[in-house]
Amino acid sequence: MPLDQSFDDVWAECEDLFGQARQTLATLREPQPAHVVQASVNALFRTTHTLKGMAGMLGYPVFSKAAHRLEDIFDLMRKGRLRSTDSLIETLEAGILALESGLDSLRRGRPEPEDYLQPVRRQIGELEALARPAEGQAQDLTTLLDLPLETLKALSDYERLRVTAVLLAGIPIHALGVCLDFATFDERLRAISETLAARGELISALPWDLPPDREGLAFLLLWAGETPEPLPVEAGEALESRLLMDPARIPASLRASIAPVPAPVSERLPESPAAPAPPVHDTEILRLPAQRVEALEARLMTVGQLRDTASRLLRRVEEAELEAPRALLAEMETGLLDVQKSLLQMRMVKVESLFSRIEPLVKSLSRDLGKPVRLQLQGGELEVERSLLSHLAEPFLHLVRNALDHGLELPSERLAQGKTETGTLKLSASQWGRNLRFDLRDDGRGFDLARLEARGLELGLLEPGERADPERLLRLSLEPGFSTQDQASQISGRGVGMDVVRSEVESLGGEIHLSTEPRRGSLIRLTLPLSRAVVNCLKVRCEGQVFGIPLASVLRVQTGRIHLQGGVRVEVLGKLIPLESLQACLGLRDPEGQRTFVVLTQQGGPAGRGSFEVAIGVDQVLSRGDVLLRSLPELAQTPGIMGGSPQEEGILWVVDPEAVLGLAMDSLMRRVARV
Q: What is the CATH number of the domain that holds 96?
A: 1.20.120.160
Q: What is the CATH number of the domain that holds 215?
A: 3.30.70
For residue 129, pLDDT over 60 is answered with: yes
Question: Can you say whether residue 452 is alpha, beta or left, with left for phi > 0 and alpha for psi between -120 and 50 degrees?
Answer: alpha
pLDDT band at 367 (very low <50, low <70, confident <90, very high): confident
Segment 11-30, tens digit of pLDDT: 777 878 888 888 888 888 88
pLDDT band at 139 (very low <50, low <70, confident <90, very high): low
Q: Quick one: 444 and 457 in the same domain?
A: yes
Sequence-separated (6 or more) residues with CB below 8 Å from residue 592: 563, 565
pLDDT band at 608 (very low <50, low <70, confident <90, very high): very low
How much of the chain exceeds pLDDT 90, in percent? Answer: 14
For residue 617, pLDDT over 90 is answered with: yes
For the segment 426-446, the average pLDDT, to the nearest whole number, is 87
Q: Quick one: 178 and 29 in the same domain?
A: no
Q: Quick one: 538 and 573 in the same domain?
A: yes
For residue 439, pLDDT over 90 is answered with: yes
Q: Quick one: 610 and 517 in the same domain?
A: no
Q: Closest Cα to residue 163, out of 273, 50, 250?
A: 250
pTM higher than 0.85 for the full model?
A: no
Q: How far apart are CA 303 and CA 297, in angstroms?
A: 10
- Collapsing DSSP to helix, strand or coil, 607 comes out as coil
The CA-based dihedral angle spanning residues 160, 166, 167, 173, taken in that order and rounded to the nearest 10 degrees: -80
In a domain, 137, yes or no: no
Q: Considering all CA atoms of the chain, what is the largest pairwise distance in Å, rounded to the nearest integer?
A: 106
- Collapsing DSSP to helix, strand or coil, 512 comes out as strand
In a domain, 428, yes or no: yes
pLDDT on residue 276? 43
Decide: residue 4, CB within 10 A, 0-12 exposed, 13-18 middle, 19+ buried: exposed
Cα atoms in the Cβ-side hemisphere of radius 13 Å centred on 83: 12
Alpha helices in 200-322 (DSSP H): 252-257, 290-315
Q: Quick one: 390 and 410 in the same domain?
A: yes
Specify the number of domains making up the chain.
5
pLDDT on residue 136? 46
Q: Closest Cα to residue 580, out of 530, 608, 546, 614?
A: 614
pLDDT on residue 515? 92
In a domain, 434, yes or no: yes
Segment 413-424, tens digit of pLDDT: 999 999 999 999
pLDDT on residue 320? 62
Q: Quick one: 341 and 355 in the same domain?
A: no
Q: Quick one: 519 and 372 in the same domain?
A: yes
Q: Quick one: 404 and 298 in the same domain?
A: no
Q: Quick one: 537 and 614 in the same domain?
A: yes
In a domain, 269, yes or no: no
For residue 4, pLDDT over 50 is answered with: no
* pLDDT, averaged across the chain: 79
Range of the domain at 55: 5-131
Q: Quick one: 187 and 253 in the same domain?
A: yes
How much of the chain exceeds pLDDT 70, in percent? Answer: 79
For residue 285, pLDDT over 70 is answered with: no
Segment 102-124, tens digit of pLDDT: 887 877 778 888 888 888 888 88
For the segment 529-554, the average pLDDT, to the nearest whole number, is 83
Q: What is the CATH number of the domain that holds 655?
A: 2.30.30.40
Please calculate the CA angle 264-268-271 and round it to the nearest 5 degrees.
125
Q: Quick one: 518 and 497 in the same domain?
A: yes
pLDDT on residue 207? 87
Cβ proximity of 360 and 398 under 8 Å: no
**Window from 229-243, 307-321, 468-482 with minimum mean pLDDT:** 307-321
In a domain, 54, yes or no: yes
Cβ proximity of 131 and 260 under 8 Å: no
pLDDT on residue 587? 86
The angle, 0 to 180 degrees and rounded to 10, between the axes of the packed helices 34-58 and 61-78 is 170
Q: How far apart are CA 152 and CA 124, in angstroms?
A: 34
For the segment 485-512, the average pLDDT, to the nearest whole number, is 68
In a domain, 327, yes or no: yes
Residue 343: count other Cβ atoms within 10 Å of its Cβ: 15
For residue 606, pLDDT over 50 is answered with: no
Sequence-separated (6 or more) residues with CB below 8 Å from residue 193: 202, 205, 221
Sequence-separated (6 or more) residues with CB below 8 Å from residue 479: 459, 461, 499
Q: Integer distance in angstroms from the first to the last C-alpha of the chain?
A: 64
Q: Quick one: 376 and 392 in the same domain?
A: yes
The angle, 0 to 180 degrees and rounded to 10, between the axes of the packed helices 386-402 and 498-507 is 160
pLDDT band at 271 (very low <50, low <70, confident <90, very high): very low
For residue 589, pLDDT over 90 is answered with: no
Q: Of 131, 166, 183, which residue sits at a domain end?
A: 131
For residue 485, pLDDT over 70 is answered with: no
